[in-house]
A and B are shown apart, each in its own frame.
Chain A
Amino acid sequence: MFAGFKYTIIVLAILTSLILLLPLLVFVWDITQNPECIVLKFENTSYINSEELKTNITVSYCSSIPLRNVRIQIGSRLVEFNYISKGVSCTQEIILATRDLEEGIRGLEASIGGFYRLVLKFE
């Protein structure tokens, strides 16, 4: 009696899982095809004093799956971008301690397509 309904549930489960997996598959494919997919640049850097400097951090990204709530940790400083999409460079002016710049990028957090939270910690 419920056999048809059960098969429908199974097919629906497979289809919705595939749809939900699609952003992750595309992201993994783009990243593996282009290891330089996420590029961070520090531009127009100028010293405010001996301990602080002002710089523009620019993020460019190659995948067609957008990244949301991107957090980049530079030393002890956290830089946040709400949304990064393909081909669009996002720039933010930040003030960094020289010590933070020396430590470099320590981590990156982002939500792939708003679904999957990715955390990268650089050793």
Chain B
Amino acid sequence: MWRRIIKNTLFGVFKGVVYYWVFWVLIPWLISIILRIPFEQPLHLAVLVLGVFIGLGVASSSTKPFIGIILSVLSALLALNILVGILGGVVSASIEYSGVFVEASLDYTPLLVLIVGFTVIYAIIDCFERFLKLEE
């Protein structure tokens, strides 16, 4: 019993950290490296997001399967909200180009749509897999 609870909790923490790392750290970092524009997020918000992801991960792996599916969907929705709401699809910056100050903005919505699309597909497959396990 305790063994199973610890195993589920650790799996939930791992899942939450992976979600946090992919959607809060990795994707914004890659975009900032490619576009050479810094993404600065406040530390308290990062801790909050990490806490919510871990909480949802632990809850989804510890509760009954049907509730777990709903909580997993919530994790995916939060990830999508971070992608669409915080990254936004448009980056703006003031840069110096050949001695002239230029206000530049770049719309990278196609890339964001692709990432959001794959996230949705992954979440649907995950839910479907859990539903099948639930039926078994």
Contact = CB atoms under 8 A, between A and B. Distances in A.
Contacts of A28: 34-36
Contacts of B103: 120-123
Contacts of B118: 9, 12-13, 16
A121 B102 contact: yes
Nearest to B132: A1
A25 to B, nearest CB: 6
Interface string B96-119: 011011111111101100110010
A115 interface: yes
A119 interface: yes
A20 B34 CA distance: 12
Interface in A99-117: 115-117
Given A1-B132, A116-B110, A17 B115 contact: yes
Interface string A6-30: 1001101100110011001100100
B66 interface: no
B36 A116 contact: no
Contacts of A5: 125
B35 A119 contact: no
A78 B136 CA distance: 65
Contacts of B128: 2
A40 B114 CA distance: 34
Interface of A: 1-2, 5-6, 9-10, 12-13, 16-17, 20-21, 24-25, 28, 32, 35-36, 115-123
Interface of B: 34-36, 97-98, 100-108, 110-111, 114-115, 118, 121-122, 125-126, 128-129, 132
